[in-house]
Structure 1
Amino acid sequence: MTTTGLFLLAILALGFLITFQIAKASEYVSVLKGEKKSFEQNNRINGFLMVVFLVLGIIGVYWCNKALYPKTLMPYPSASEHGENIDTMLKITLLITGIVFFITQILLFWFAYKYQYSDKRKAFYYPHNNKLEVLWTTVPAIALCTLVGFGLYYWFKITGEAPQDAMQVEITGRQFGWIYRYPGKDNTFGKKYFRMIDEANGNMLGMLWKDSTMQTPNGIQNLKADPTGFDDVITTTAMVLVKDQPVKLIINSRDVIHDVGLPHFRLKMDAVPGTPTTLWFTPKYTTEEMKKITNNPNFEYEIACDQMCGNGHYSMKGLIKVVKRDEFILWRAKQEPSYKPATDVAPASPASPAPNPGAVDTTAHDATGALVPQATIASKK
């Protein structure tokens, strides 16, 4: 919201507060003057308005749900197996909290109308009830602990050990975009060091592609090149995954705290500088299949940064392509390693062999000193 919008909202709130205070002051003045009839009339009006607000509020909730629910992700299935469990937990949570919300709000506004001030009724002083306090303390506590328990169970499944056949992909956040890395044929990620980051020369992650010596706060440090990183593939275009194959994401950040948000897979995980985090899931639908499910020919799986990370946070969007296995194999075969070895200097011409002392010198020269071919010499003979 812009500064102007916030300013106008503050003015409206202040105007409402002033009007409310003037109305209350007028009511108190009427009471002090003995205008009891005016007070009772205002009280009935307020009670009636409570009922009106209750009805309009319920209608508003229904209308908002009908208008905005299709624009959420809930009408469409989760694109991962773990996400299905998250959806189930979310629906249970909404069901429980929704029932409690409607019961408490309906009673709140109905009681405000039913038990408004009346000369014919005397307020009953009811200070304490152990059974009620135990009931409204233990029941919510048990319900919340159950929901938290399910949440922890699913969380440990997502962040636990991935299956042995899981594909490994590293994703690194930076202001303001994502970098994806795939291991090469050795299925091993090469080592990297943040001080080696050099975008000008194509080293976005600080890969140890060559022996280096650098000055650090702890002194001179010698870094050895890591050959296991020579065949790694680094890209910023999109993350390509395989349908029905588990994938383990190794999450890093190159600068500030980011967050890998995967809304269609119902997952998210912080990207913390210097502290790799992981999660794993199994994609259920290819991108083409989700286009049909959502009836959106332009559908793309998105990676959103769910952590405010700077001025360009809004533009930090990544893409995921979920394809079939044969399509992934074809795509992977077209990818070249990001490591580009330095071009070697052309070797010098080989030196002439040393003369054999025992050999007869058959080289001939003419009168000008030029070399005479052996065939010419033989013809002369």
Structure 2
Amino acid sequence: MSMFFTIAVIVLVFLIIFQIAKASEYVSVLKGEEKSRKQQNKVNGFLMVGFLVLGLIGVYVCNKMLYGKTLLPHGSASVQGEKVDSMLWVTLIVTGVVFIITQIILFWFAYKYQENDKRKAFYFPHNNTMEVVWTVIPAIALTVLVVIGLRNWFAFTSDAPKNALQVEVTGKQFGWIFRYAGKDKEFGKKYFRNIDEANSNLLGQIWDDSKNFDDVVVTQTMYIVKDKPVKLIIGSRDVVHDVGLPHFRLKMDAVPGTPTTLWFTPKYTTKEMKEKTGNPNFQYEISCDQMCGNGHYSMKGIIEVVTQAEFDLWMAKQKPNYYAAFPDKDPANQQPATPAAKDSASTAKAPAATEKVKM
């Protein structure tokens, strides 16, 4: 019913516009086409100036109303993201100035140079100087912006510092899986055909590789440390996803079978950002910035930025995923020896000791 109503409204609007156009034609015939055209041009000229003024006021009002709802007022939450913010501001200033100047000229010219009996329009098909100016200047400006962007991109994707915390980030429909290397500081091998969620092998870890024995696997919430570089090793379990880190001003594609990397240094803990933003419910977010299926909208993860001491405490509470896959290997599940068994073992050893003394 609502679809039928919408279609009916659209058809009605078109009919009204058509009738207004036809009425305008009849008026033009009665008044004379030339006189009618001149009057319309005059009205349109004033409308152009009005639209310019209202448009610029609208841009200013929208900026005032909505700027506080963006991520810009609080700045980047990572050291590397500061470069992205500065690049964004340069781009906004350059394009904003060009936009305002060109729009003012466009609408003012439409008003000032409307049809006039005392003035005849002059057309020229070619002007080398103007073509060089409007080609070279934008080309130089865009080249500078591209060079700045590439410099920042190479900084984010270059080799991370040696002391960086390494976290493997794997996207899947529709969630995130994070893996931390254990005490050996190395990730074990994995193979996608080994993925078995029923047996707690979300990543396809190869259990014959001993380096997997201490790897920690968690879902949806990633823990990282304030002021410590973190290197993300990014991949996907199914389709192309995209690791979006809006508060840190970074993003990177998650491609099946092709690991990608980026690194950054968090500036504020989650607790500090709650105070900084005045939002007690603030959370760092990891989003999927690539359409990946019907559940794309729900693919959101949480990033907890904590101090080193808090991270060490959290890490100490985590169990290697090996124990989730093989509960019988978990020391916590091992049955301690019973007192009766200990007594029988002591009794068995006593005669042997007595014989040794007699000899």
1:314 counterpart = 2:312: no
- Shift of the 195–279 alpha-carbon distance from structure 1 to 2, 3 Å rule, reads same
- What's the CA shift for 1:293? 0.9
Distance in 2 between the 1:187 and 1:23 partners? 75
- Shift of the 206–145 alpha-carbon distance from structure 1 to 2, 3 Å rule, reads same
Alignment correspondent of 1:114: 112
**After the TM superposition, which residues 285-296 of structure 1 pair with which residues of structure 2 at under 5 Å, given as runs?**
285-296=268-279
1:172 counterpart = 2:157: no
Alignment correspondent of 1:94: 92
> After superposition, what is the alpha-carbon deviation per residue over 1:318-374, rounded to whole angstroms, capped at 9, x for unaligned?
00111111111111111111102363899xx9xxxxxxxxxxxxxxxxxxxxxxxxx
Deviating more after overlay: 121-130 vs 282-291 = 121-130
Alignment correspondent of 1:343: 328
Alignment correspondent of 2:52: 54
Identity in percent: 63
Residues 184 and 211, structure 2, Cα contact 8 Å, conserved in 1: yes
Structure number with higher helix proportion: 2
- What's the CA shift for 1:127? 2.2
Distance in 1 between the 2:53 and 2:234 partners? 48
Q: TM-score, normalised by structure 1?
A: 0.81
Q: Structure 1: which amino acid aligns with 2:212?
A: G
- What's the CA shift for 1:106? 1.1
Alignment correspondent of 2:338: none
**After the TM superposition, which residues 295-374 of structure 1 pair with which residues of structure 2 at under 5 Å, given as runs?**
295-340=278-323, 341=326, 343=328
Deviating more after overlay: 90-99 vs 40-49 = 40-49
Residues 175 and 220, structure 2, Cα contact 8 Å, conserved in 1: no
- Shift of the 131–29 alpha-carbon distance from structure 1 to 2, 3 Å rule, reads farther
Q: TM-score, normalised by structure 2?
A: 0.86
Q: Structure 2: which amino acid aligns with 1:343?
A: D
Distance in 2 between the 1:15 and 1:49 partners? 26
Please tell me the root mean square deviation across aligned C-alpha atoms, in Å: 2.5
Residues 30 and 36, structure 1, Cα contact 8 Å, conserved in 2: no
What is the total number of aligned residue pairs between the two structures?
A: 329
Alignment correspondent of 1:137: 135
- Shift of the 68–48 alpha-carbon distance from structure 1 to 2, 3 Å rule, reads same
Distance in 2 between the 1:37 and 1:26 partners? 16
- Shift of the 137–291 alpha-carbon distance from structure 1 to 2, 3 Å rule, reads same
- What's the CA shift for 1:23? 5.2
Structure 1 alignment gaps of length 5 or more: 210-224, 350-381
Alignment correspondent of 1:72: 70
1:181 counterpart = 2:166: no
- SS of the residue aligned with 2:252? strand
Alignment correspondent of 1:368: none
Alignment correspondent of 1:276: 259
> After superposition, what is the alpha-carbon deviation per residue over 1:190-221, rounded to whole angstroms, capped at 9, x for unaligned?
00010111101111000111xxxxxxxxxxxx
Residues 181 and 215, structure 2, Cα contact 8 Å, conserved in 1: yes
1:250 counterpart = 2:237: no
- Shift of the 79–142 alpha-carbon distance from structure 1 to 2, 3 Å rule, reads same
